[in-house]
Chains A and B, each alone.
Chain A
Amino acid sequence: MRGDTLLLLMRLRTVIALIVVLAVFSAAAPNFLSSANMVLMLKHVALNAILAIGLTYVIVAGGIDLSVGSTVGLTGMVAGFLMLNGVPVGGDMLMRFNLFEIVLIVLAIGVLIGAINGVLVARLKVAPFIATLGTLYVVRGAALLSSDGRTFPDLVGDAYYGTSGFPFIGGGYLLGLPVSVWLLGVIAAVAAYVAMRTPLGRKIYAVGGNAHAAALSGIRVNRVLIVTYMVSGFCAAVVGLIIASELQAAHPATGDTFELNAIAAAVLGGASLAGGRGTIVGTLVGAAVIGVLGDGMVMMGVSAFWQMVIKGLVIIAAVLLDGAQARLQHRVAIRRAAALA
């Protein structure tokens, strides 16, 4: 049936968009497809994709998390602070942490910020947009306060304290690929597995699809919601670590507006802000489209102003197509029903 073919094309729209974007840029810029450029683009995509994975969990459950950019900033600052300073523990004793401990603390702070968002949304019933807008400001303010607005420089690590491996997280390579890309791979694989093949994943989709019915099915809706925000906070902390490590410096303004690109990637990948719909694979493709589009336009020398216009139009087109797909699906279902009747 013609409707079915059209429907399939629409479902694959993000993949098609990615192929088109890749084809256009490789035709226009000859070294676009070079392996060096590909690795560079992957590295750019990885940061946004990791954030977008966390956001996909939140969005599928019917929420939104605007605070991830700020969390990237604060977690980077915490990492920078702990690299350079010790924490006073009574008297004039200073406690220094090794790299492993610093990573754990930073990730825990990301998860904690997520948990706070989750409790605000699930238990205290603050609208997700407002709750995370609030934490966006609070967390950014905390990042600025942590250094009085200054940068923590020279985070090269110190073998004496067991922190010399720090620059490896964001700057190192394994088997020819950046460590950040490997991190994306691991996070995406785990996130996709949990979403598709565990009770928790199924419950997240159920809560986003119909929270009321989910509650009557014995699902503890609040817990599920809180977990999704914790995942989002965790992903933001990973990105905070990667950036501080790559730059070997932590700046309190890092991550500003990152949430917007991450939301755009999830939505391009088919996640519905109404909840219940979205996949990790879709989000990865969505992040790739946004990343490739951005880098490709830079290589072609498109002005930064036009880049914004084009990115905005792509996002709107994605959502329009999504609506068209839903209507087409409805029509095909009706036609099937009519054929049966």
Chain B
Amino acid sequence: MTEAVPRLSAQRVSKLYPGVQALDGVDFEVHAGAVNVLIGENGAGKSTLMKIIAGVEQPSTGCLLLDGEEVHFADPAAAARAGVCMVFQELNLFANLSIAENVFIGRERCRLGIDIDRGSEIERTRELLERLDHPLDPRALVSSLTIGQQQIVEIARALAQDARVLILDEPTSALSAAEAETLFAVIAELKARGVAIVYISHRLEELKRIGDYVTVLRDGHLVATAAMADVDVPWIVRQMIGRDAPARADAAPCGASGGDVLAVTDLVLPRERGGFTVDHVSLTVGAGEIVGIYGLLGAGRTELLESIMGCRRDATGSITIAGTEISGCDVSDRMAAGIALVPEDRRRAGFIQSFSVAHNLTIASLGRFARWFNLDMRREAAAARGSIGDLAIKVAGPETMVTTLSGGNQQKVVIGKALLTRPRVLLLDEPTRGVDVGAKTEQYRLIRHLAGEGLGVLFATSELDELTALATRVLVMCEGKITLDLPCDAADHDSITAAANPRAQAA
């Protein structure tokens, strides 16, 4: 311990959402000049805890202490005034404004209270960027920057507010290896200046390098906290998932596929400013096969799936479902041909918030329950009850509103909706994002069961563990291209990571 009193601590913090206990009596602290790494699987409560600390959310119970004094942050601005700043994973920048304007957004430096002092803002921004070893032009538009540079701008914004506690939420998820190195250097520099840093990640390889302490959350509970020097990676994994890392025996059986149900040839999705988001991709999925696409954020996984589904009008290339060409069809016709997509962002694209579970389940297959204009409500309700039973969706009844369900059950509703269209191929984008650990294995079992019945499955993931636990064949995507295609028993972590990394590809 560098100080007796932690810079910031959370005590017995709980957070309750409808249907979900996101945090349950969690203690957490971070000291000046130290990095506390916060880890846990998706849905463990990391982001919720940090949102509470940064004033985005209010705790249901529990309190926050800053330098030993109890504080209440009504909103992120209040937290920022106290020196607690958060850099979100999905960066909160205004692409249409310059770097300097972004750094001072909401706290513009003004003469006489009304006239923005651009000169001084630009000067101060230049200083901050130099301190961060990134001499960018403060007048450049944020839209012209890479993701890594945008992250630096976010950090500069935090520093401009004299951040004493800096929260970084999965900062390297979108960065290339070189950009990540720069970020680590910046973190080291901030530490030396006495900033307390909370670093959220689920990349185990980074943790030992930059962490001074490690705190592990699982299912909304604090399971362990320790000095990094005292622990090793296997210990961390054990704490995270509550047992040893899944052995090979736990993984899916390899091979075992029938004829191709999905064949994609030369799929191209051009990028707005030149280049390709999906760069001449060809792949096949056999009946009963589970193909996993791994890649970093921005590798083009989601765009590939969306192009196959027909959501991207600019995409070109041939796509066949069981031999039928569908590349000229819209989403609706593609679904009729036997393909369905379970999107990554359930809330935005997966379900309809104002609908019940039953109505969400049947919305994609209403034609089956209709005779002429009339919707046969009895058959529709029976189908919904059938899905709820088949997928073991835990609900009070079919009329329950979908928004009150836990992440895992919501995901099952979206999968159930897709299955009611009787697809030959199921596309899943990050199938367990926001699903808690226990429910995760259940999702895997479900997907394997579906593949066992002859469904072709193509899923995208950014988690290596998920890839190895589920896929019978592994594809790796990097900068829009498929860089690796291996059966699961031939794929090891090192070659997968190397194939996913743009720098390693260039070398």
A positions within 8 Å CB-CB of B: 194, 197-203, 205-206, 208-210, 212-220, 276-277, 330, 333-334, 336-338, 341
User: Which of A200, A209, A210, A218 contacts B421, CB < 8 Å?
Assistant: A218
Nearest CB of chain B from residue A329's CB, rounded to whole Å:
9
Chain B residues near A220 (CB, 8 Å)? 330, 332
Q: Is B353 an interface residue (CB 8 A)?
A: yes
A338 B355 Cβ-Cβ under 8 A:
no
A215 B353 Cβ-Cβ under 8 A:
no
User: Which of A205, A218, A337 contacts B16, CB < 8 Å?
Assistant: A337
Chain B residues near A214 (CB, 8 Å)? 352, 363
List of 7 A-B pairs having minimum Cβ-Cβ separation, nearest first:
A217-B364, A199-B366, A218-B335, A209-B352, A209-B354, A276-B354, A333-B18
Nearest CB of chain A from residue B425's CB, rounded to whole Å:
14
The docked-state distance in angstroms from the alpha carbon of A277 to that of B403 is 15
B377 A197 Cβ-Cβ under 8 A:
yes
The docked-state distance in angstroms from the alpha carbon of A336 to that of B341 is 32
Chain A residues near B350 (CB, 8 Å)? 213, 216
Complex interface bits, B1-43 against A, C-beta within 8 A gives 1, otherwise 0: 0000000000000001111110000000000000000000000
Task: Name the residue on A nearest B341 (C-beta).
Answer: A216
User: Which of A201, A216, A219, A341 contacts B21, CB < 8 Å?
Assistant: A341
Known: A199-B366, A202-B366, A220-B332. A334 touches B16 (CB 8 A): yes
User: Which of B20, B309, B341, B363 contacts A202, CB < 8 Å?
Assistant: B363
Chain B residues near A334 (CB, 8 Å)? 16-18
A218 B354 Cβ-Cβ under 8 A:
no
Known: A212-B349, A216-B311, A219-B332. A206 touches B20 (CB 8 A): no
Complex interface bits, B348-391 against A, C-beta within 8 A gives 1, otherwise 0: 11111111000100011011011001110100000000000000
Q: Is B195 an interface residue (CB 8 A)?
A: no
B375 A218 Cβ-Cβ under 8 A:
no
Nearest CB of chain B from residue A139's CB, rounded to whole Å:
30
Interface size class of B (residues with CB under 8 A): 35 or more
Q: Is B148 an interface residue (CB 8 A)?
A: no
Chain A residues near B331 (CB, 8 Å)? 215-216, 218
Chain B residues near A333 (CB, 8 Å)? 18-19, 401, 403-404
Chain A residues near B404 (CB, 8 Å)? 333, 336-337
Chain A residues near B349 (CB, 8 Å)? 210, 212-213, 216
B421 A338 Cβ-Cβ under 8 A:
no
Chain A residues near B375 (CB, 8 Å)? 197-199, 201-202
Q: What are 22 inter-chain pairs, A to B, with CB distance below 8 A?
A: A198-B370, A198-B373, A198-B374, A199-B369, A199-B370, A200-B373, A202-B363, A202-B375, A206-B352, A210-B352, A212-B348, A212-B349, A213-B352, A216-B311, A217-B364, A218-B364, A276-B353, A276-B354, A277-B354, A334-B17, A337-B17, A341-B21
Q: Given contacts A209-B353, A213-B350, A217-B364, list 17 more A-B pairs with CB under 8 A.
A: A199-B366, A199-B369, A199-B375, A202-B359, A202-B375, A205-B355, A209-B355, A212-B349, A213-B352, A216-B350, A218-B336, A220-B330, A220-B332, A333-B403, A333-B404, A334-B17, A337-B16
Q: Is B343 an interface residue (CB 8 A)?
A: yes
Chain A residues near B351 (CB, 8 Å)? 210, 213
Nearest CB of chain B from residue A271's CB, rounded to whole Å:
12
The docked-state distance in angstroms from the alpha carbon of A208 to that of B350 is 14
A203 B366 Cβ-Cβ under 8 A:
yes
Within 8 A of A (CB), among B443-502: none
